[in-house]
Amino acid sequence: MSNSLSCFKAYDIRGRVPGVLNAPLARALGQAVVEILGAKSVVIGRDARLSGPELRDALALGLHEAGAQVTDIGMCGTEEIYYAAANQPFGAGVMITGSHNPADENGFKLVRGGAIPISGDSGLFALRDRVAAILAENGSAASAPAAPLHQASFRADYVAWLLQYSGAGKLAPVAGRKPLKIVADAGNGCAGLVLKDLMSSLPFEFVCRQMQPDGNFPDGVPNPLLPERRAATAAAVREAGADMGVAWDGDFDRCFFYDAEGNFIEGYYCIGLLAQELLRRVPGGKVVYDTRVYWNTRDVVLAAGGQPIMGKTGHAFMKERMRAEDAVYGGEMSAHHYFRDFAYCDSGMLPWMLVASLVHRSGKPLAELVAERMAAYPCSGEINRRVQDAPALMKLVRDKYAPTALYEDSLDGVNLEFAQWRFNLRMSNTEPLLRLNVESRADRALLEDKTAEILRLLEEMGGAVPA
């Protein structure tokens, strides 16, 4: 067993259990949360992973030893921790989750009281350094009695708020129209825990898949970006004759959409739909978008009378920028969606409820709602390549394309714009990967040509291979 601190990333903690992430580290983290953040009351929760209870017990012990009262809300989604930290007098919240990562991994997502995010820029590395010092002092400390835990649940209040804020709880059936049929795929993560409490208050028909949380993940890890998971949900949509499909990752802070034909809808285009909805509610509001693909978002926001603002990729960075700007909404193409009225946090429940409500009210299929924007700004989706020297390779790509670019910024990787196309090339914060995103102005052939061109360059210059 190792206590390597490589599990501390740019905006959360994640790693293989019990290698880089284990009970001694969790115990030290609990102590550090109290000492560094000054949190005297902490709410904790966990996803369905089998390592969750052991890490929960160790984390709670460290928190208790450092003088904090610990409230455990049990198995839940990350946004339930955000909700608790935002609406209850807790000094910090810690979610134990591996999200979409392999089953033998786990991690921690942390917020201050008020659900204020913690990133490498705002305290996470200070926590890392304190954890390192505690582990150096104590090593693999002997076991101790279990910490006292206060058990609580805020789910009923959270579900009521989702129904109210989304407006979905007030929707009525439409005469002469069948109810919207939705395939809901929780992937044996935690989304089913909340969905079962929502369904009875919604005028939709649900076809449910893998609703029971199961840390063995018998049908594979809940990651809708994996081709095999996408295919299974898409097939279920077609088989059910559903109007749309929704799938979640393990801690349901992201949701993913499928149209009635089972086609996967890139999260990018859902940003535009949600931006329009939020700007309808808050005219002239600010919308934060990430650096990867944004032409469509910027166009939609401006047309709706809003103010588009670029932010750095990553949930903690996005939340911090939204707070600084008082933005009404923020969206990442990776399907993270952030809401000012949800303490600027990301939610995997609000987006699908808002989109389903829009489909219900408009009577238009999901495919029709996004078709125009997909044609106007086709995109590659995020393409990952495993490389040996990411910084050097990024510089080579930048130096080749920058001389003819009309615009360049380096907020998050290499970001270059040309008259009819643009691309972003950035390093992963968690793996030795380069991530490429390309988009064009209404020219799919150009998009495909430039995407292939950059991928060939990465292979020829740096030996990049598909990840």
The catalytic site residues sit at 99
Joined tokens for residue 196: 């079962």
177 burial type by CB count under 10 A (0-12 exposed, 13-18 middle, 19+ buried): exposed
**Spatial separation of the C-alpha atoms in residues 317 and 290, rounded to whole Å:** 10
Among residues 352, 356, 332, the alpha carbon closest in space to that of 271 is found at 332
List, in order, residues 6 or more apart from 182 with CB less than 8 Å away. Answer: 204, 205, 206, 207, 242, 243, 244, 245, 246, 356
Q: Do residues 337 and 351 touch, judged by C-beta distance below 8 A?
A: yes
Joined tokens for residue 148: 């006292």
Joined tokens for residue 400: 């080749």
The overall longest dimension of the chain from CA atoms, in Å, is 70
Joined tokens for residue 370: 């996004």
Joined tokens for residue 155: 């789910």
Output the DSSP codes for 405-433: -SEEE-TTSEEEE-SSEEEEEEE-SSSSE
Among residues 391, 386, 357, 332, the alpha carbon closest in space to that of 172 is found at 357
Joined tokens for residue 181: 């049929």
Q: Do residues 259 and 244 touch, judged by C-beta distance below 8 A?
A: yes
Joined tokens for residue 393: 């390779």
**Spatial separation of the C-alpha atoms in residues 91 and 68, rounded to whole Å:** 9
Q: At which residue do the structure tokens 């952030």 appear? A: 338
Q: Do residues 11 and 315 touch, judged by C-beta distance below 8 A?
A: yes
**Spatial separation of the C-alpha atoms in residues 185 and 255, rounded to whole Å:** 10
**CB neighbours of residue 147 within 10 Å:** 21
